[in-house]
Amino acid sequence: PELLLIGQLIDRSGMAWCIQAFGRPEMLQIAIEEWAGSSPLYTRRMQKALKYEGTDIITIFKGLQLDIGAPPQFMDFRYTVHDRWHGEFHLDHCGALLDVEPMGPDYVKGMCHDIEDPTFDATAVATNPKAQVRP
C-alpha cells in the first residue's frame, strides 16, 4: 500500500506544478490524459502479472483495488457485485476529495467529476471494451 501512496503523492505534487504553470483548466486536462492514457497499460500488466485476467466485473473491481490512483487508506472503495457483468462501488473515504475540498467547489467538481468520471471508464475499458462506469 505504501508504494501506491507514494505514486499518488508524486502525482499530486506534479498537478500542483501544472496549476501554477498552466492554470486549473489545463491541469484538469493533463490529469485526465495522464490517467486515461496510462490506466489501460498498467491495468493489463497487473492482470497478467497477478494472473487475474478476465472481462467480468470482478476483474474490473480487482483492477480498481490495485490501481495506483486508489491506494488503500487514501481511497476506501466498497464494492457490490450483482452478477458477472454488473456491480457498484462507492467510497467510504476519499483522500482526493479531502485534498481538493479546501480549495473550493471548482476543484471538487474538477476532481470528482471532470477527472474521475472518464478515468474510471478508461480503467474499466482496459478490462472489457463494453464496460461503462457511471456515477
Check residue 63 and give its pLDDT: 93
Q: Indicate the Cα dihedral angle 134, 64, 131, 113, nearest 10°.
A: 30
Low-confidence ranges of the chain (pLDDT < 70): 1
Ordered by start, the domain boundaries in the chain are 2-127
Answer yes or no: pTM beyond 0.95: no
Check residue 18 and give its pLDDT: 93
- Give the amino acid at 56: D
Q: What is the pLDDT of residues 35-53, one digit of tens each?
A: 888 888 989 999 999 999 9
**Other CB atoms within 10 A of residue 101 CB:** 14
Whole-number Cα distances in Å, 94 to 52, 75, 111:
26, 5, 11
Residues 87, 103: contact at Cβ < 8 Å? no
Check residue 1 and give its pLDDT: 66
